[in-house]
Amino acid sequence: MSKKETINLIDTFSEFKELKSIDRSTLISVMEESFRSVITKMFGSDENYDVIINPDKGDFEIYRNRIVVEDDALENPNTEVTLSEARKITDDLEVGEEVTDAVDFLGFGRRAILTLRQTLSSKILELQKDSVFNAYSEKIGQVVSAELYQIWKKEMLLIDDDGNELYLPKTEQIPTDFYRKGDTVRAVVAMVENKNNNPKIIVSRISPVFLERLFELEVPEIQEGLILIKKVARVPGERAKVAVESYDERIDPVGACVGMKGSRIHGIVRELRNENIDVINFTNNTSLFISRALSPAKISSIRLNETEKKAEVYLKPDEVSLAIGKGGLNIRLASMLTGYTLDVYRDIDEEDTEDIYLDEFSDEIDQWVIDTLKAIGCDTAKNVLAIPRHDLIRRTDLEEETIDDVLTILKAEFEEEA
């Protein structure tokens, strides 16, 4: 056996010993299994071999047990030994007794050494994969930091401190995210796939859980369990609403989450690319919760349909646009947070009793057109007529002909009354 092959075998042991994530018993078991696999390939069986592994020193011992037979009765040299050969090991042996002698594994030849190294390398790789899968399976829902290594069209490859690969798909990135190679990226572990024993760790920056974990990192009261995050609704990179509840009456949960002059929430906002975050007090009173969720709009009244999880929300005309928000974002998040489908209506003042709700024109105007107008805060005929024609076309994205037909119908109604 050459010196080089002996050194390579020792290097394999050293590589195996450096796997800190592998416990001692597993290390010994896998190494013994690898030796036995090679022995079985060479001799057809490993049943009469004892393999002793010493992972601390990086060495091993192999012993073979054979039955002593007459010199002319040897049939299987792997399991039997002649009496004359046996007495070279121990001089007082007799036929039928068992003799044990040490085996020089390096003497098995080049092929045995290569087979062992390949088997050990394969076992090492399998254990590493299992270790990564198990470690990150326990980290699902936790925030991790990793260095950006490669940017592809559909995903980014990150490398953590232990050299493990994490993947941040484009679909899990905040739309305004911008990173360069070498940047540190924070995200939450979303899932760990294990196809064909190849673990793939998927992380996310758009998950509501990521926002929750950032609050836990920034707000000690949440870490200590004094404040509980009840619900989270997000449109990543744009806006989020977080409902919190305090288990200590002396603690203002909203104030604690925001911090003095916004000191606590500013760090979260920056991490989320200036995503606006509304923190509100949670309550089991559904009407009050909906009212808080639609903040900054002030609600006049709410009519609930708990069976269908719907709510009709009435507001003063100047509050409607606040409730709906830019592009309908505020009402969308409020609906996500409360779990209710929210329909916003204007409260009609007594002096406007001659006004007519758009739903009353359903026999002349298609319902989808009415719904489109209501989505921009126009619930009554006068609401629509108060908006310039070109603004209606721009805000609703309806055809000019459709808007003209609607205006004609609404104007005709009031002209008839006049």
Of 392, 377, 373, 278, the C-alpha closest to 324 is 377
Looking at domain 216-282, what is its CATH homologous superfamily? Answer: K homology (KH) domain (3.30.300.20)
Q: Which residue has the higher pLDDT, 341 or 18?
A: 341
Q: What is the DSSP letter of 251?
A: S
Distance separating alpha carbons of residues 182 and 209, to the nearest angstrom: 25
Distance separating alpha carbons of residues 213 and 42, to the nearest angstrom: 55
Domain 284-347 falls under CATH 3.20.20.70: no
Name which CATH class applies to 143-206: mainly beta
The structural domains of the chain, with segments of one domain joined by +, span: 3-134, 143-206, 216-282, 284-347, 348-418
Tokens 């409730």 locate to 323
CB within 8 Å of 139: residues ≥ 6 apart: 189
Would you say 403 and 392 are in contact if contact means Cβ atoms under 8 Å apart? Answer: yes
Whether 213 shows a pLDDT value over 90: the answer reads: yes
3-state secondary structure at position 101:
strand
User: pLDDT per residue over 266-312, tens digit each?
Assistant: 999 999 999 999 999 999 999 999 999 999 998 888 989 989 999 99
Whether 6 shows a pLDDT value over 60: the answer reads: no
DSSP secondary structure of 1-68: --HHHHHHHHHHHHHHHT-TTS-HHHHHHHHHHHHHHHHHHHHS--TTEEEEEETTTTEEEEEEEEEE
Fold agreement between 216-282 and 284-347 = yes
CA atoms lying within 13 Å on the CB side of residue 356: 15
Domain 3-134 falls under CATH 3.30.1480: yes
Distance separating alpha carbons of residues 356 and 373, to the nearest angstrom: 14
User: pLDDT per residue over 48-96, tens digit each?
Assistant: 999 888 766 667 888 989 999 998 888 888 889 898 888 888 888 888 8
